[in-house]
Structure 1
């Protein structure tokens, strides 16, 4: 039987790779966690804590090309990603965050804060991005939070398409959020339900009362078109297998695919889950029409959404999300509890 006290002292192969880059990354202004620094001595050897209860006993996840770090200039947690030369994702992400595009309020492409070459492997480089969370972690709680999410996603889709970029994989997995205002004390990059030490209680603020921004990520299979160039591609790549026109032989319009993907994401994760999001139904039906030519373009979809959104009352947007599986009695009880909780949370937020 293995001894965890010994096993956790041994760095995995991917961890060694990052440890060997630590001093270089530090020279660029980014500090890795203690486990990934040269000369690291496990804290549990002197603290008496179990490795499973020590921050430097937390292993790096399996994704060998990414790691979290702290930007030394301001203490902000960032995300480092190793990419190959002429990488499509890096090229598109950098172009969308270039001047003056980064100042456009419609731009919801992940910010690229820094880039620099790997000193060891020719052609490899690093991208530095904000450390983001999945958009439904923690889960959406109120109708207004969903409204804000749909607003930003559709704005970002229109912006991308205006730049001639079709994402082609814009599922929920490729949308992230900057939740820094929700977690003012920060959170651990691996154990994200805990504080920075990986184990303490996480202090949070309700999503409804703070500013949250959502971003598109991962342009690995995206396509870029020049003005006037035909918008046709082939290929079966992408997470969502529901798109009816995907084909490896028959060309299709990737911009229409993006509209379907966004509509299908709204259907599966929002409209299909919660009963009081009826205002999304028309949007979902139009976006997921089985005939691509019958779907609205992204800017038309945004206009349809704004028309629906502007009919919603402030009270409706303040209400909690009701899961479709709830029984009537459960709904009444939870609605009452939610109203009290909303008032309490709002007053607490004002006082902190």
Structure 2
């Protein structure tokens, strides 16, 4: 196992980087659930990445804003996810996870543990489906970490709405959520994927300036993509 960093540190730079994150998380969740594993605590603190390629000179394991010698800031040497062709994301910390086999007498669990206390059904008294907790937690993560902050991630809204329904029975399974995401993913244009993240509180002038600064980079990437398709 490589030395990992939090999945959102450093933060994402464009729409495509977030889409790649969603691809891997949704596929990973479906993979776990298909094998009877409910994570039960898949919040942002338990989603990490192998950022080795982004830090060609490495980073200190504790003072992770610095190079391994702890004297030089790592900022000037960091490459983006896009520059290194993407990174691999991991679910970690299975301390409260449940394994439920197909022949188990019940799929329900008890417990209030988990970082995301927004999950409405958590209880020490009323049993609940831990797989639907994972669905809510990931949907809530997409909402809090991405959707609430950026205006050009509206495509996440339908999936978030389904995954965070108050009634667990109305939420999709991981396989259904993955199919929904795959359908959404196909409708996102390459140009949209290349574009920078636009903050919801971004002023009009600031937005125009930032778009103008980003346009040359996006244009180069767009042309490279078009050429690669020939």
- Point out where structure 1 has 5 or more consecutive residues left out of the alignment: 1-128, 347-352
Is 1:321 matched with 2:193? no
SS at match of 2:6: coil
Contact 1:274/1:324 (<8 A) preserved: yes
| Distance change in 2, residues 1:179/1:345 (3 Å) | farther
Shift of the 327–305 alpha-carbon distance from structure 1 to 2, 3 Å rule, reads same
Distance 1:239 1:337 in 2: 38
Q: Does 1:219 align with 2:94?
A: yes
2:18 equivalent among 124, 142, 146? 146
Counterpart position of 2:129: 253
Correspondence 1:336 to 2:218: no
Matching of residues 107-186 of structure 1 within 5 Å: 129-186=1-58
Say whether residues 1:268 and 2:140 are aligned partners.
no
Q: Any conservation in 2 of the 1:206–1:345 contact (CA below 8 Å)?
A: no
Q: Name the CA distance, whole Å, in 2 between partners of 1:261 and 1:199.
A: 38
Cα RMSD (Å): 1.6
Give the Å deviation of 1:343: 6.5
SS at match of 1:284: helix
Q: Which structure: greater helix fraction?
A: 2
Report matched runs for 1:1-352 at 5 Å. Answer: 129-202=1-74, 203-210=77-84, 211-229=86-104, 230-340=106-216
Residue 345 of structure 1, CA deviation = 9.6
Q: Is contact 2:54-2:79 (8 Å) kept?
A: yes
Superposed structure 1 runs of 4+ greater than 3 Å apart: 340-346
SS of structure 1 residue aligned to 2:52: coil
Whole-angstrom distance in 2 between the partners of 1:209 and 1:343: 15
**Structure 2 unaligned blocks of 5 or more:** 223-230
Q: Which has the larger radius of gyration?
A: 1
Q: Describe the shift of the 1:182–1:344 C-alpha distance in structure 2 as closer, same or farther (beyond 3 A).
A: farther
Report which structure shows greater RCO (CA 8 Å, sep ≥6): 2
Find the aligned partners of 1:308 and 1:278 in 2 and give their Cα distance. 11
Question: In structure 2, do the counterparts of structure 1 residues 189 and 201 end up closer, same or farther at CA, with 3 Å as the change threshold?
Answer: same
TM-score normalised to the size of structure 1?
Answer: 0.60
Question: With structure 2 as the length reference, what TM-score do the two structures score?
Answer: 0.91
How far does residue 254 in structure 1 lie from its aligned partner after superposition?
Answer: 0.3
